[in-house]
Structure 1
Amino acid sequence: MKTLKTLTIAYTPDSDDAFYYDALETGLIPLPGFRPHFFTENMSCLNQKALQGVYDVTAISSVIYPQISREYAILNVGTSVGRGYGPVLVSREFSKMENLNGKRVGVPGIPTTGWFLLKCFCPDALMIEMQFDEIADAINAGNLDAGVMIHEELLYYPQLGLKCVADLGAEWCQRHDLPLPVGLNVIRRSLGTASMERICSGIRQSLEFSLAHSSEALSRVRRMGRGEAGQCTEKFVSMFANSDSVRMPADVREALNVLLCQVVDLGMSSEMPQLTIIEGMIPERIHAHKQVG
């Protein structure tokens, strides 16, 4: 029997990422030649571990890609894309970005795409790094004046009595007439081209299986994010696990180039990386191991 190669896959503890991998993680879709091991950590931790080269496949904030481009290629599956939306700046007291100059604003990691957008649009805010799901409570406790919402917090914050100051993702999209590639899925180059292509294809089939059996997949991933009580899983998954995530379209590739050029201009990287995108070969359809539903 051929020995299976261990493959480490890391994603955020949120419903959209869990939706991508549900069929692989539950064994409904196989990944021939590999034994995947899954890890969940918040985006700030995943960014740091990508810089250290810890995982074979990992979610990252798009803005850190120039720093890891020599070790990782971009997968053409699992991109989180905001079409007219993205990280949201919220507050209890303030209603305009210009009122936040010098104010304490929580950001879900430095660097993250949410932090990057705030730095672009409200550079004089005092940015305080916090875990993403603690920012809203810190605002309500008076420890922050405002904060950047990501993940399911994008939809949940009104239930906590907070108000939108600005949809930073929408602002970026409007200024550039492009969608916003908030997050990427990347893969270790040292796996080799054939393996990277095969893994990309397997992840795509997992996502396609979840989309085709969405009720069953959603019932399993509701444990993530704000959970059943949050009542935002289905809407959130539809925002960030969709056709843009199945295959990165041309306008998202264009947007990624624009975003990363801005990252270089901001001094986060010395040069614009060459974008290597693993397309995922299209083998014969891999059938599910068992029937669902």
Structure 2
Amino acid sequence: MNPLRIAYSPCPNDTFVFHAWTHGLVVGGEPAPEVTFADIDVTNGMAERGELDVLKISYAQLPWVLDEYALLPTGGALGRGCGPLVLTGPDSPATAADPAALRGRTVAVPSERSTAYLLFRLWAAEAVPGGLGEIVVMPFHEIMPAVRDGKVDAGLVIHEARFTYQNFGLRCLADMGEAWEAATGLPIPLGAIIAKRSLGAERLESLTDTIRASVRQAWAAPALSRDYVLAHAQEMDPAVADQHIALYVNEFTEDLADAGYAAVEGLLTRAAAQGLVPPVAPELIR
């Protein structure tokens, strides 16, 4: 088999999940792929253009790519208590008690096709009557400094920012995951693994088995991936990297199962009902 081409982020959960596969450690699995590291906004665009064989993208991007790509049931990011946060500076008029004060304000987001932004729009439709102001897209690691420095009024953050935002003097206005779980009871769908349907059913099954084996090997011998994870973690504190992995690599990473698929279908159905994404045929998801 020829090596596949894959793109995922340099974040600890992705490098942890894919370490065994990318280093040829999955016995009998797919050959080690050609890896491109890219921010989620970049991989979302790559998927829409049909680039590469396998990509980690936002679940919110699925409606635009499912004709060409299949959703794999392993390797992605879903969970509970791991949702995106809306952050503001300490002097912001918007507070957890009065999120409506965010009306007309400038908000930085990691991608307009990100799951974080979709959850944010579902939340803001009720919490911020009258609507938001300008939405500014920027790499997720630039958002907290931009809020701190007053370049934007608020920021929607993902990943390890859950553990570090207080270091920037910021406060949490709202937790999109808490809002989603309270409304639906479902886990929070964040990042999906997709692969080209043109690979064929047999290759897609082999790929799924390989990624699942990579996840299991990462859990079984976490020390093996340590150097790889930290080398790509943008000078992240090792303790924060460990927290990141513990939160985002869980039972849904190994297998979406019924609860994971229900979360994905629930997100896209709710979003389509509000005209935020195109409707998706259920058979394209499972």
Query: Which residue of the other structure, out of 155, 163, 166, is the alignment partner of 1:158?
Result: 166
Question: Aligned equivalents of 1:87 and 1:151: distance in 2?
Answer: 8
Distance 1:275 1:107, change over 3 A: farther
Question: Aligned equivalents of 1:177 and 1:277: distance in 2?
Answer: 20
**1:1-293 to 2 correspondences below 5 Å:** 4-30=1-27, 32=29, 34-92=31-89, 93-94=91-92, 95-96=95-96, 97-123=99-125, 124-126=131-133, 127-229=135-237, 231-276=239-284
The answer to whether the 8 A contact 1:21-1:207 is kept is yes
The answer to whether the 8 A contact 2:109-2:156 is kept is yes
Q: Provide the secondary structure at the position in 1 that maps to 2:3.
A: strand
Q: Provide the secondary structure at the position in 2 that maps to 1:232.
A: helix
Unaligned runs of 5+ in 2: 126-130
* Residue 268 of structure 1, CA deviation: 4.0
Q: Report how many aligned residue pairs link the two structures.
A: 275
Unaligned runs of 5+ in 1: 279-293
Amino acid at match of 1:245: T
Amino acid at match of 1:36: P
Range with greater deviation from structure 2 (219-228 or 152-161): 219-228
TM-score of the superposed pair, with normalisation by structure 2: 0.90
The answer to whether the 8 A contact 1:152-1:225 is kept is no
* Residue 228 of structure 1, CA deviation: 4.1
Aligned CA RMSD, in angstroms, stands at 1.8
Q: Percent identity?
A: 28
Q: Provide the secondary structure at the position in 1 that maps to 2:232.
A: coil
The answer to whether the 8 A contact 1:16-1:237 is kept is yes
* Residue 64 of structure 1, CA deviation: 1.2
* Residue 52 of structure 1, CA deviation: 0.6
